[in-house]
A and B are shown apart, each in its own frame.
Chain A
Amino acid sequence: MEISDQDLIQRCLSGRQDAFAALITRYQKLVFRVVTQMAGNTGEVDDLSQEVFLRVYRSLGTYRSEYRFATWLIKIATHVCFDSFRRRRPVALEPEDAAQVSDPRPGPDVALAESGDLDDLRRAVQELPEEYRAPLVLFHQQGLSYRELIEVLNEPESIIKNRLYRARRMLREKLIPQKEAMPT
């Protein structure tokens, strides 16, 4: 029978490092998925994922069992990514600015990107301001509920819904004009 997350956490808190190793094994794919989707394949995914588990380890005593452990883990992963973005890119674009600078006309690399629509999509997601990217990734890729998004992002539901709405519009504005210009 598989040991529950709660049991593993209790064992960790009583000093069993092997229990934490089991938690890593259980959740490393989830953390990699979130970090890749939030930060892109930047070569930092492994380092950032390690940082996520180190933060989890340091703050395991503060975990509250009313939330799923996976949700708490995603929250920490999200914050690790946010911190990384701030170190990497000190000046973040406001969403309004981001919408203005996204050129609706096809760029010079459109033809090259024709066979790599998913690459375009990944790049477009990465270009979204982080406060819009996070709910998009967590809701549509990780399948989190609104209740979980509220916990992870620490924002009210109305703001999260509004950001999701705008994130989808921004994504479409970035990608669809390119497709329209492609030769048929």
Chain B
Amino acid sequence: MNCDAIENLIQRSLDHELPDALRRPLEAHLASCPACRALHGELAGLLASLGSMAIEEPLAGFEERVMEKIRREAGPRGEAASAAVVALYVSMGATALLLAAAVLLGDAGVPDLLASAWRGLLGFLGDAWVLQAGYDLLAGLVPGGILSIPDTAAAACGMTALAALLLGLRRLRAPELKYADH
């Protein structure tokens, strides 16, 4: 085996991948070839030294500095996620209120309740223009007698589902954590 082939075996031995069958030929060559023996010794020595290199230790307070950055970064997104959760509950409440009003009050009382409930929801979802458009549509159709009470209730349920969808989209934008403080 020539020296080029032996270098390949040396490299494989450094990878811990030299088959037993090739170990003896390698050792025999190293015993008789000073150049390859030097190569093997130098490479093995260098790699052993790699493990003895001094490593910088984390400075005191490292963990706290990272957590502080995380808290700062999490702030606005955490608030958005929390607002979305509240918005979902409010929208569900608004739907329940609307359904109850449909049963108890009839057509006349529904538009006012509808307005209060959905204004409350929109207060939490300030940028939810889709919900605003939905509300405007309902607010226009119900008083005009175009939509019946069951239609209105169904639309309200749809808007609740939409609120849940918006919540899901927000969670996708901030999927990792809920940023709760403990």
A residues sitting closer than 8 Å to B (CB atoms) are: 12-18, 20-21, 24-25, 28-29, 32-33, 36-37, 41, 45-46, 49-50, 53-54, 57-61, 117-118, 121-122, 125, 136-137, 139-141, 161, 164-165, 168, 171-172, 175-176
B interface residues with partner A (beta carbon < 8 Å): 11, 14-15, 39, 42-43, 46-47, 49-59, 62-63, 65-67, 69-71, 73, 175-182
- Taken together as a complex, chains A and B put the C-alpha atoms of A139 and B16 apart, in Å, by 11
CB-based nearest A residue for B73:
A54
Contact B176 A141, beta carbon cutoff 8 Å: no
B182 near A32 with CB under 8 A, answer no
* Neighbouring B residues of A58 by C-beta, 8 Å: 176
Contact B182–A118 (Cβ < 8 Å):
no
List residues of chain A with CB within 8 A of the CB of B71: 17
A68 to chain B, nearest CB (A): 19
CA–CA, A49 to B55, complex, Å? 13
Give me 9 A-to-B residue pairs in the complex whose CB atoms sit less than 8 angstroms apart, sorted by A's number: A12-B177, A13-B176, A15-B179, A17-B67, A17-B177, A24-B66, A54-B69, A54-B73, A168-B47
CB distance B62 to A140 under 8 Å?
no
Nearest A residue to B180 by beta-carbon distance? A15
How far does the alpha carbon of A85 sit from the alpha carbon of B178 in the complex, in Å?
33
Chain B residues within an 8 Å CB radius of A164:
11, 15
Instruction: Report Cα–Cα, A117/B42, bound state, in Å.
Output: 13
A36 touches B63 (CB 8 A): no
Given contacts A15-B178, A17-B180, A45-B56, whether A57 and B51 have CB atoms under 8 Å apart is no
A-chain residues with CB within 8 Å of residue B49 when the two chains form the complex: 117-118, 121
Q: List 9 additional contacts besides A15-B178, A60-B177, A117-B49; criterion CB under 8 Å.
A: A16-B182, A17-B180, A18-B182, A20-B70, A32-B55, A37-B53, A50-B66, A60-B176, A141-B51
Do B50 and A121 touch across chains, with their CB atoms under 8 A apart? yes
How many whole Å from A130's CB to the nearest CB in chain B?
16
Q: Which residue in B14, B50, B73, B182 is a CB contact (below 8 Å) of A141?
A: B50
B56, A36: Cβ atoms under 8 Å?
yes
